[in-house]
Amino acid sequence: MIMVPDFVRRHIAVPLRRQIGAFLIEAGMSVLKIKDPTLPPIRLDFVGGSDFKATGFEFLRYFTEYGGLKPEHAVLDIGSGIGRMAIPLTNFLKKGRYEGVEIVTTGVEWCSRNITPRYPNFRFHHVDIYNKSYNRKGTVKAAEYRFPFDDATFDFVFLTSVFTHMLTADVQHYIAEIARMLKPGGSVLATWFLLNDETAALLKQHPETLQIVNTVPGHEAVRTASLHSPEDATGYPESFVKECFAANGVPVEKVIPGAWCRREDFVSYQDMVVARKS
């Protein structure tokens, strides 16, 4: 049996398999004349393997139920991808506005061409932030980036599968920036791989699951599934996350457990944290 190096599997074999699969699906849809113009082509979807449309509407429910999102809110989506969260929001934010920030150019370009013309209150911004897993040619360090928005601008900020790909200093800086941009009383919902005694026990019981247990040299608190490519999947102690938010005047209100560590009682795949600016 030939062993494929982890880096080759993650960054070459898996993306290639997804691209071939996407091509075959789109070819079949074309033959059958099945097309949804509100969704991006499958081949351009770089945000994960879950059902694109279902995941977007799933999180819209979390935003309203847990985060208190309202139709008139000003919303910031950090890591807007290729519109998975923005698309269901277009029919919700009737009186509000949406700003999406993303490091992958193709996502910003598609959203700007296909969403903004129909919904002018939705805008998308490309930022060239370095990330070893998603933007290796990036010229800006995440820990030094200042978002192009004024203080106290947003009622609601969300990040889905963003902190799960970031190292310690970057996480701390992003939380400080979120606190700066939130209005008093505004809330943030973010997904994480949270580490605590329960997850440690579950990871030992289930060695087949994502083992976010490796210490990254030079980076306080963070744990990773791959020392070769740490940003592929990063986790943080739950206590560390709560301390970071509290230190910036945005105390955590809710922690919603996820299924990633093989919990039997969960809501979504990743853990969710909801915090509110004092």
**DSSP annotation string for 128-193:** -B-BTTTBTT--B-GGG---SS-TT-EEEEEESSSGGG--HHHHHHHHHHHHHHEEEEEEEEEEE-
Using the structure block, give the residue that is written with the tokens 């509290």.
Answer: 246
Spell out the domain ranges in the chain: 1-35, 43-276
pLDDT mean across residues, the chain? 87
Cα angle 81, 65, 86; round to 5: 20
Q: What is the pLDDT of residue 8?
A: 43
The b/e string for 19-37 (b: 16+ C-beta within 10 A; e otherwise) is eeeeeeeeeeeeeeeeeee
Q: What is the pLDDT of residue 15?
A: 44
Question: Which bin fits 25, alpha (ψ -120 to 50), beta or left (φ > 0)?
Answer: alpha
Helix (H) or strand (E) segment spanning residue 75: strand 74-78
Q: What is the pLDDT of residue 163?
A: 98
pTM of the prediction?
0.84
Write out the two tokens for 212: 């976010």
Q: What is the pLDDT of residue 50?
A: 57
Q: What is the pLDDT of residue 240?
A: 98
Q: CB within 8 A of 20, min separation 6: which ones? A: none
Q: What is the pLDDT of residue 3?
A: 44
Q: Does domain 43-276 have CATH number 3.40.50.150?
A: yes
**CA distances in angstroms from 184 to 110, 181, 238, listed in the order given:** 33, 9, 24
Residues of the chain with pLDDT under 70: 1-38, 41-50
Q: What is the pLDDT of residue 49?
A: 52
